[in-house]
Structure 1
Amino acid sequence: MKTKILRKISGISNLKRNFSFFDSIKISNALKKEKENITLSDNSQIHLRKNTKDHETFDEVFIDNIYNLPLPIAPKTIIDAGANIGLASLFFKMKYPDSAIALIEIDSGNLEMIRKNLKGYTNITILNKGLYNKHSYFKIFDPFNATNSFVIKESTQDDYDIESITIDQIIDDHSWDTIDILKIDIEGAEKNLFESNYQHWLPKVNVLMIETHDRMVPKCSITVMKALDEYDFGLYTTTNGGTLVYYNSKFLQ
């Protein structure tokens, strides 16, 4: 009993980094009961589905605070690749309200949740695309029967679920000069992203937050690190959730 109480107090304390004390208690109680809709004091809502990974993802973002890092600037431009149900972008938008965010997600069910969780927020672009290093077509697979590990495989124009989008295209479409935060969690597709056609956009990234998936696609990590080494990125930290955070050395000067 004592351990459970201490864990609850610790969870509320971590939630208070992002929410009011009242809302932190309310969220903590709702998570314990696995509620699907949590209405906060400002009437905004957090939506989490039962029997999915949504509650686990919420814990990572708002209790473990895996994206809550000290940055020397307030980010203005953010790409959230592998946005899942939008909780990372919700965190970024709460912490950096003036930021513009492009979310990329391949699953239609997750997209519906993104729209719910980011309702009322502005300067948000939601893209039902697969992030890749060129234009291509993909089939979507769910190898682990989960809601946070969908993968894409190249297909043909005659038989596909979604098309790709490149980071260069996102930059051009938004007329961005830099990407202040590039968050990537795309279940192994990061290997392709950092294999080629990164020379134009990668130097424009200030902070990279990436989870690599060597267990799914061999040599993801080394492919990413090789590309980053070309542009003098340095590893800043590794979060509790396994996300690697790199800073562009020019960004720190």
Structure 2
Amino acid sequence: MNYSKLYHLNGLARAIGWRKSLSVLLRRALGIGAPMKVRCRSHELLIRPTDSDLFVISQVFGHGEYEIGEAGQSALNRLALDWRKKGFIPVVVDAGANVGYSSIFLRNQHPDAIVMAIEPDPQAFETLVSNCAGLEQIIPIYGALWSHDGEVELVNSNSPSWARAVSDGQGVPSITLDSLLAKLPKTKLLVLKMDIEGAELEAMRECGKVLKDVPCIIVEPHDFMFPGRGCLTFVYSSFGGRSIDSLVNGENLIFIASALLAPKAAKRNTTKAARFNS
């Protein structure tokens, strides 16, 4: 999606206020890249004026592009609480967490879940760690979601940090979704968020069982960058036999189990949760 400058400016002002927005934009114009602190809702966050941080914070906190609606959020939080009562740890995987804005947003949306924030760019990851410091609910993980546990290569390193991708190679730790979830005991995947610049096909290649059970997937599609690759093939194939609601918010496709949104679902917590607890 090609956003206008006005869209980003409006989102930036919504997120951090006009005064700080003008300060960020001035530093960007002057080429001053040193991180600066901004107040965003109840958080003190770092923003790098000459990188893509101002666009990311605009989309995440200004325009709420990871919001799934009150009904979806409430249903997922009821499910997470039900899992907690049964001894499971609800997990939100934030793949392509960048500097941590999305991880903090998702943490605020789902207070009973642990957010595993995975990011392969070392500079962005350093900022993520700083932004998420003190938030025990967020676990920063340096690496890339991939089809094997090993290493991958960070490519297009001259691009803004939100556009950096990985491919086969060496230099950055890689981890499968199964291995990521195994880092904690008795986990259940509540939300899978992916913004991984076209790596969706490879990252989801061996994830059939997990994808079939996850109640909500939020993904930014990148087929426009790689025509013919079918980046979301394994995501779509996991929906076979399931009733799924599809939403669009900003750049993101949001898929959520229809049963969670059914009118009577809120009154039938046990029945609703049974599918995901089996």
Q: TM-score, normalised by structure 1?
A: 0.80
Instruction: State the Cα distance separating 1:135 from its structure 2 match.
Output: 2.4
Instruction: State the Cα distance separating 1:176 from its structure 2 match.
Output: 4.0
Aligned residue number for residue 73 of structure 1: 76
Instruction: State the Cα distance separating 1:105 from its structure 2 match.
Output: 0.3
Q: For residues 206-242 of structure 1, what are the alpha-carbon distances to aligned partners after superposition, in whole Å with 9 as ceiling and x for unaligned?
A: 11000111133333355145323325252421112x1
Give runs of aligned pairs for residues 184-199 of structure 1, distance below 5 A.
184-194=194-204, 196-199=205-208
Aligned residue number for residue 99 of structure 2: 85
Point out 4+ residue stretches in structure 1 off by more than 6 angstroms: none
Aligned residue number for residue 232 of structure 1: 242
Q: Secondary structure at the match of 1:178?
A: strand
Give runs of aligned pairs for residues 84-103 of structure 1, distance below 5 A.
84-103=98-117
Aligned residue number for residue 29 of structure 1: 19
> Which of the residues 117, 136, 141 maps onto 2:131?
117
Q: TM-score, normalised by structure 2?
A: 0.73
Change (3 A) 1:98 1:222: closer
8 Å contact 2:198–2:231 — kept in the other structure? Answer: no
Aligned residue number for residue 142 of structure 1: 156
Q: Secondary structure at the match of 2:147?
A: coil
8 Å contact 1:177–1:204 — kept in the other structure? Answer: no
Identity percentage over the alignment? 21
Distance 1:154 1:83 in 2: 20
Distance 2:143 2:60 in 1: 23
Instruction: State the Cα distance separating 1:166 from its structure 2 match.
Output: 0.8
Structure 1 unaligned spans of 5+: 1-5, 16-23
Aligned length: 231
Aligned residue number for residue 267 of structure 2: none
8 Å contact 2:13–2:21 — kept in the other structure? Answer: no
Give runs of aligned pairs for residues 151-190 of structure 1, distance below 5 A.
151-155=165-169, 160-190=170-200
Amino acid at match of 2:191: I
Instruction: State the Cα distance separating 1:132 from its structure 2 match.
Output: 1.0
Distance 2:183 2:247 in 1: 31
Aligned alpha-carbon RMSD (Å): 2.8
Matched, 1:62 2:94: no
Higher helix share: 2
Distance 1:67 1:131 in 2: 19
Distance 1:202 1:89 in 2: 20
Amino acid at match of 2:19: N
Amino acid at match of 2:63: D
